[in-house]
């Protein structure tokens, strides 16, 4: 349970970090919070020959808004900071609601947004949230930068659209339109454990309370964050209605997700949990959107 | 691979020192072997058990998921930085003693180091909050009840409230 030997560099600037990656390619691994990478190295599942530690790059640890109203979060922003930040609570409430479910406080003190997104564990909360809020993911290399929509960024189990010479630098979360409601729900055996099933929901109502747009994304429900597109279509065009909720929950939990089952929950139980959590999340999200609608009437 | 040693300057329990470490040395092993501070325990080495929890610049972290080389310029507090001997227990340790919050003691150092910043942030916690705070620390002996009681007792005694002498 000790990591294999490696060389270690802690760059002072993003530029230096990028040129090291450019030079060393796949041999190098980025070290962010270390909360997924170091366990894998301790088990010797990973044996990188060079670690590039981003922990001194303060330019990657920020939370601010741009003129368009997007919330910009630096890749090295730790979960703990997200949990208590007022801008996150106000402008990214779905993200805010999910953070206490990520691991234990000791892990949240180190783990970072960028690390969690690049690690892309199908059971992780942040990739699901990124998809539900349509986060735009900015990656940079010596050659320049790319902005990748979340739906394209996640490409399956522990796989993303990022190259070995690129660093995820920032995530942009667009401002919600009016009359938007959200909810994050998950069920874990114990606070902080990876959940057996979880869902993030975001819906937008029109002025009469009819659903204009819905987005449902599930965690631990397949080989990545799993979006239930058909279930969303069932809800769109409908007002708050139990029958529509039940039809959407049935569609998503039976047809659209593809849970793998594990030691704590078999596939049937995971589908059952998805169904129940969908109903609870939709109910809360519609209530919140209605409150927002009331305020804006 | 050739061994490159990196110089680090760190403050452990208030005392500054310099060392040369191999990058792959975990902070947990550095504390136990190089610093001979064996109060920090190692249970799983993948972040799950919490036995290795120490304070990094005042925040609880897993020392098994941090490399010693990363601690250059930072402050670490281990359980040895609380009460220095059985006659001078830290008030949190005294509460664990009084409420029988331990049996074998393997988990205790990690739990104490978890609860110190927790009580500073939440001086009057509910039982639910206490259980949530303890969720990242495994104890195979006590069944947790007396640990929860010990944290409650410590909170009642004002551990975590600003010290008037400070
Ligand atoms: C006991 C335990 C329980 C946990 N429970 C949960 C949980 O319930 N939910 C959950 O979501 N997570 C959980 N985690 C994981 C935790 O949230 C990690 O913080 C997260 O998965 C990885 O973030 P990190 O910053 O630690 O990344 P690291 O471990 O440092 O890196 C992870 C990977 O991403 C790469 N990387 C990191 N940053 C960048 C970047 N900016 N650009 C490009 N590549 C990068 C690294 O090279 C590495 O491959 C748990 C971890 C532990 C140890
Ligand atoms: S030894 Fe570090 S968490 Fe178990
Ligand atoms: S007292 Fe023995 S593990 Fe907790």
| Domain annotation for chain B: domains and CATH numbers | 6-78 (3.10.20.30), 91-156 (1.10.150.120)
- By CB atoms closer than 10 A (0-12, 13-18, 19+), residue A104 is buried
Average pLDDT over residues A78-93: 98
Residue B2 has pLDDT above 70, yes or no: no
**pLDDT category of residue A98 using cuts at 50, 70 and 90:** very high
CA A265 to CA A286: how far, in whole Å? 29
The percent of residues above 70 in pLDDT, for chain A, comes to 99
Average pLDDT over residues A143-164: 97
Q: How far is the CA of B27 from the centre of ligand 3 (A)?
A: 22
Candidates B41, B51, B70, B116, partner chain A, best to mutate (most A CBs within 10 A): B70
Do B131 and A7 lie within an 8 Å CB cutoff? no
Q: What SS3 class is residue A75?
A: coil
User: What pLDDT digit, counting tens, does each position of B121-134 carry?
Assistant: 999 999 999 999 99
CA B94 to CA A246: how far, in whole Å? 54
Give the contacts of A94 (CB within 8 A, at least 6 positions apart).
Answer: A129, A132, A133, A182, A183, A184, A200, A202
Name the DSSP letter for residue A9.
Answer: E
User: What pLDDT digit, counting tens, does each position of A6-65 carry?
Assistant: 999 999 999 999 999 999 988 999 999 999 999 999 999 999 999 999 999 999 999 999
Token couple for A149: 């929509």
Give the contacts of A137 (CB within 8 A, at least 6 positions apart).
Answer: A117, A130, A147, A148, A149, A150, A153, A168, A171
The pairing of strands A50-53 and A7-9 is parallel
CA A225 to CA A160: how far, in whole Å? 11
Candidates A76, A104, A111, A193, partner chain B, best to mutate (most B CBs within 10 A): A104
**pLDDT category of residue B165 using cuts at 50, 70 and 90:** low
CA A150 to CA A168: how far, in whole Å? 12
Helix-helix angle B91-98:B145-156, to 10 degrees: 130
Give the contacts of A295 (CB within 8 A, at least 6 positions apart).
Answer: none
Q: From chain B, pick out residues whose CB is under 8 angstroms from the CB of A105.
A: 60, 114, 118, 133, 136
Do A104 and B29 lie within an 8 Å CB cutoff? no
pLDDT at position A25, please? 85
Average pLDDT over residues B22-40: 97
Contact predicate B161/B66, CB 8 Å? no
Residue A190 has pLDDT above 70, yes or no: yes
Q: Give chain A's length.
A: 297
Continuous H helices in chain A:
14-24, 37-42, 79-84, 86-91, 93-98, 105-108, 113-119, 125-132, 150-153, 229-235, 242-250, 267-296
Q: Nearest by CB to A7, from B4, B50, B64: name it.
A: B4
Q: How far is B66 from chain A (nearest CA, A)?
A: 7
Interface of A to B at Cβ within 8 Å reads 1-8, 10, 31, 34-35, 38-39, 42-43, 49, 51, 53, 55, 80, 103-107, 109-110, 190-193
* Residue whose structure tokens are 């902080």: A192
The helix/strand count (H/E) of chain A reads as 12, 12
Do A2 and B29 lie within an 8 Å CB cutoff? yes
Which domains does chain A possess? Answer: 7-53 (3.30.43.10), 58-173 (3.30.465.10), 180-296 (3.30.390.50)
**Dihedral angle sign, alpha carbons of residues A107, A110, A115, A117:** positive
Phi, psi of B76 (to 5 degrees): -120, 140
Residue A297 has pLDDT above 60, yes or no: no
pLDDT at position B1, please? 58
Token couple for A99: 């953070």
A150: left (phi over 0), alpha (psi -120 to 50) or beta: alpha
From residue A157, give the alpha-carbon distance in Å to each of A105, A119, A153, B118.
25, 9, 12, 35
**pLDDT category of residue B164 using cuts at 50, 70 and 90:** low
pLDDT at position A293, please? 80
Q: How far is the CA of A145 from the centre of ligand 1 (A)?
A: 22
Average pLDDT over residues A123-134: 98
Give the contacts of B15 (CB within 8 A, at least 6 positions apart).
Answer: none
Neighbour tally for A219: CB within 10 Å: 32
The helix (H) or strand (E) run that includes residue A31 is strand A28-31
**Residue nearest (by alpha carbon) to ligand 1 atom 46:** A30
pLDDT at position A292, please? 80
- For chain B, strand residue ranges (E) read 6-12, 15-21, 53-56, 59-62, 75-77
Do A2 and B4 lie within an 8 Å CB cutoff? no
A158: left (phi over 0), alpha (psi -120 to 50) or beta: left
The pick from A35, A76, A110, A187 for probing ligand 1's pocket by mutation, whose C-beta has the most ligand atoms within 8 angstroms, reads: A35
pTM above 0.80, yes or no: yes
Q: Give chain B's length.
A: 166
Pick the closest to residue B90 from B108, B63, B67, B72 (CA basis).
B108
Q: For the complex shown, is ipTM > 0.85?
A: yes
Token couple for A151: 């739906």
**Whole-angstrom distance between the N-terminal and C-terminal Cα of chain A?**
60
Pick the closest to residue B11 from B46, B50, B58, B66 (CA basis).
B58
């Amino acid at each position: 349970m000790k990591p294999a030997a490696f060389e270690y560099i802690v760059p002072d600037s993003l530029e230096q970090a990028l040129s090291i990656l450019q030079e060393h390619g796949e041999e190098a691994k980025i070290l962010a919070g270390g909360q997924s990478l170091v366990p894998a190295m301790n088990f010797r599942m990973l044996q990188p020959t060079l670690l590039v530690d981003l922990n001194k790059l303060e330019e990657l640890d920020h939370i601010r808004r741009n003129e368009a109203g997007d919330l910009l979060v630096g890749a090295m922003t730790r979960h703990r900071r997200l949990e208590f930040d007022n801008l996150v609570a106000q402008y990214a409430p779905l993200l805010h609601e999910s953070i206490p479910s990520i691991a234990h406080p000791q892990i949240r003190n180190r783990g970072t947004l960028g690390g969690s997104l690049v690690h892309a564990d199908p059971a992780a909360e942040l990739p699901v949230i990124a998809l539900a809020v349509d986060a735009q993911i900015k990656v940079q290399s010596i050659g320049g930068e790319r902005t990748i929509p979340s739906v394209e960024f996640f490409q399956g189990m522990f796989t993303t659209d990022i190259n070995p010479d690129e660093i995820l630098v920032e995530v942009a979360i667009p401002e919600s339109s009016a009359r938007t409601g959200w909810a994050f729900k998950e069920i874990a055996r114990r606070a902080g454990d990876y959940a057996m099933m979880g869902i993030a929901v975001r819906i937008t109502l029109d002025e009469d309370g009819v659903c204009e747009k819905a987005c449902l994304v599930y965690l631990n429900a397949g080989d990545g964050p799993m979006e239930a597109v058909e279930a969303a279509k069932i809800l769109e065009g409908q007002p708050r209605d139990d029958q529509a909720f039940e039809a959407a929950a049935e569609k998503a939990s039976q047809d659209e997700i593809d849970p793998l089952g594990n030691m704590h929950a078999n596939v049937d139980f995971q589908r059952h949990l998805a169904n129940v959590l969908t109903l609870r999340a939709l109910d809360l999200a519609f209530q919140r959107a209605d409150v927002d609608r009331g305020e804006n009437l | 691979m050739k061994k490159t040693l990196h110089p680090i300057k760190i403050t452990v329990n208030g005392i500054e020192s310099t060392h040369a470490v191999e990058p792959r040395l975990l902070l947990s092993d550095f504390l136990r072997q190089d610093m001979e501070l064996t109060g920090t325990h190692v249970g799983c080495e993948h972040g799950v058990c919490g036995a290795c929890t120490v304070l990094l610049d005042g925040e609880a972290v897993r020392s098994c998921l941090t490399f010693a080389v990363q601690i250059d310029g930072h402050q670490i507090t281990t359980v040895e930085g609380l009460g220095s001997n059985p006659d001078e227990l830290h008030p949190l340790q005294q509460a664990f003693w009084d409420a029988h919050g331990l049996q074998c003691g393997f988990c205790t150092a990690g739990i104490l180091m978890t609860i110190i910043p927790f009580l500073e942030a939440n001086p009057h916690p509910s039982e639910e909050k206490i259980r949530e705070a303890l969720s990242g620390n495994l104890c195979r002996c006590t069944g947790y009840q007396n640990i929860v009681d010990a944290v409650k007792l410590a909170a009642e005694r004002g551990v975590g409230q600003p010290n008037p002498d400070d």
